[in-house]
Amino acid sequence: MAVRKDMYIKVQNKVQPHLKGMYSRACRVLPESLIMSRKYFEVKEYLGLEDAEDESSAPLQTAQAVLLARTLRNALQHVSYYRERVSLDPESIVPANAVESLRKFPLIDKQEISARPEDFISDKYSKRSLIYTTSGGSTGRGIVLWKSYDEYQVEQAFIEDMWTTYGWNRSSKILRIGADGILPPDKPPCHREDRRLLVSPRHLNEEWLDHIVDKAEDFGPQFIHTYPSCLEVLASHLKASGRSLEVKGIFLASEEVKLEQLEFFKDVFQAPICFFYGACEHALLGYGCCDGSRITYHLNPMYGFAENLEDEYGHELVGTGLWNEAMPLIRYRTQDYGRIVDGLTRCAVCGRTMRTVEQLDGRMQNYLTTKQGTRFPGLSIVVDKFIWDYASTFQFVQNQPGAIELHICPKGNLTPEVEQRIIEAQKKRLSGWFDPITLVKVPEIHLTKGGKRRLVVINEGEVPGTDRQVGQGHDG
Ligand SMILES: [Zn+2]
């Protein structure tokens, strides 16, 4: 069985990238009714509701209750893990008692799913018909996920809805720097794929940056779709070389976003920036919103049902995805931390009325240990914007509890005075928690298999009581 399972995964790993290319072209040239599934249209209908951004409205509350009841019934009827542990008659679950019913389900986490992944797959599906993916990607610590074709289109519907508000449509030209553009170092970094110019994130270095900007200029993208760490390198190069790229908007994904990054990107590109909180488990979707002094995330009630669980790290986000039918994750502990504000108020910045994560502290594996032995969210460390004038990228590294290193890839103009300025600024803010605080110049920051930068790397061995391991981050 294990051999057969490996074979599916191997075949899928080979075929998936080719299918993705064909699929994006098909989406553009064929009528929607031919390639999109019933669920895609269902999501669009929900997102098209008159008050789709107002969770306090009756239609939205009804919609969430209907989706939650359906999700729970499906889990009890078709998924052995829940059937064996929850003594509820699936037929008894209706929208009016959906939330109350949800509370009778156990909390689940990555370890529980990894121990018995098969038990989470619905008996309505054969694995042959499902698409395999992992959360945690190259690091090997993620969970295995099985999704139907429909469920990918559900995700697509939510993302498209988000992008559309920035003027995107299926004919838009996109400069994409990300995992799907990765090429070997001996090949040039750019290639065209339908309406996208794909750039290999591993080629974002002095040798190739001018070439990449030339190609991008010729291509004339309307949008840039990338990871914040890749955009840092590109923006820093544009600023230093006095060049620019005019785009209508920037779509960030897959990594944490820091306020300083948003400010820097706004300075360089003068374009609106779309970013969100989400993961490949598809449990929650939070729309990023920035009022100029802090970042919050508004959770879409039609995507997932959110709960907060308090523990030693803070407020963990627990999500129940409302569209995962083949492998439902109910009350899934995301290992991401952020407190959800009580009550519903209309956001003065974007106008949404949704439950809001007031401060995303990030992933459990990004918590540093202070010299007092307490936890400190790595995402909350402030970065000075002037750093991008002297370094292309950076990373925080903890090799022993209580200490912290700021690793930077220096540009040619980094002087000892500037180094001093960078480190003193950090000491001023952080010396109450960390000692020593040091600056380390490195020729490059090691990227994950998917070309992402880990903002925080912790090399202090395993932390008892968690599945955290040395220096590993999310690569979803
Ligand atoms: Zn807002």
String of DSSP letters for 144-169: EEEE-HHHHHHHHHHHHHHHHTTT--
The CA 136 to ligand 1 mean position distance, Å, reads: 29
What pLDDT shows up at residue 447? Answer: 87
Cα of 451 from ligand 1 centre, angstroms: 30
How far does residue 29's CA lie from ligand 1's centre (Å)? 34
Beta-ladder partners of 288: 297
Burial of 312 (0-12, 13-18, 19+ CB in 10 A): exposed
Long-range contacts, 264-269 (Cβ 8 Å, 24+): 264/232, 264/235, 264/385, 264/388, 265/231, 265/235, 267/239, 267/385, 268/235, 268/238, 268/239, 268/244, 269/224, 269/235, 269/244, 269/245
Q: Which residue do the tokens 């490195």 mark? A: 442
Instruction: Report CA(447)–ligand 1 centroid distance (Å).
Output: 32
CB 265 within 8 A of CB 235: yes
Quote the ligand 1 centre to 340 CA distance (angstroms): 14
Q: How many Å lie between the centroid of ligand 1 and the Cα of residue 411?
A: 36
383-422 in b/e form (b: 16+ CB < 10 A) is beeebbebbbbbbbbbeeebbbbbbbbbeeebeeebbeeb
**What spacing in Å lies between the alpha carbon of 289 and ligand 1's midpoint?**
5
354 CA to centre of ligand 1 in angstroms: 9
Residue 397: helix, strand or coil by DSSP?
strand
Å from CA of 291 to ligand 1 middle = 8
Give the DSSP letter of residue 92.
G
Give residue 343 CA to ligand 1 midpoint distance, Å.
Answer: 15
Distance between Cα 292 and ligand 1 center (Å): 11
Q: Ligand 1 centroid to 356 CA: how many Å?
A: 9
Structural domains of the chain, ranges and CATH numbers in brackets: 368-458 (3.30.300.30)
Q: How far is the CA of 346 from the centre of ligand 1 (A)?
A: 8
Cα(227) to centroid(ligand 1), Å: 21
Place of tokens 């903890």: 398
For residue 5, the cross-strand partners are none
Sheet holding 304-311, edge to edge: 276-277, 286-290, 295-299, 356-363, 332-340, 314-321, 304-311
Distance 244 CA to ligand 1 centre (A): 29
CA of 352 to the centre of ligand 1 (A): 6
CA of 380 to the centre of ligand 1 (A): 20
Q: What is the pLDDT of residue 139?
A: 43
Q: Is 42 exposed, middle or buried (0-12, 13-18, 19+ CB in 10 A)?
A: middle
Give residue 312's pLDDT: 85
Å from CA of 268 to ligand 1 middle: 23
Å from CA of 394 to ligand 1 middle: 29
Measured CA to CA, the distance from residue 341 to residue 348 in angstroms comes to 15
**How far, in Å, from the CA of 166 to the mean position of ligand 1?**
15
Which of 192, 186, 154 lies closest to 41, judged by CA? 154
Predicted local distance difference test score (pLDDT) of residue 12: 66
CA of 347 to the centre of ligand 1 (A): 5
CA–centroid distance, residue 232 to ligand 1 (Å): 24
Please tell me the distance between residue 351's alpha carbon and the centre of ligand 1 in angstroms: 6
What are the residue ranges in the chain where pLDDT is below 50?
1-3, 137-140, 462-476
What interhelical angle do 228-241 and 259-269 show, nearest 10? 40
3-class secondary-structure state, position 218: helix
Task: Give the distance (Å) from ligand 1 centre to CA of residue 383.
Answer: 23
Six-digit token string for 292 = 């100029």
What is the distance in A from the centroid of ligand 1 to the CA of 273?
13
How far away, in angstroms, is 329 Cα from ligand 1 center? Answer: 27
pLDDT of residue 135: 76
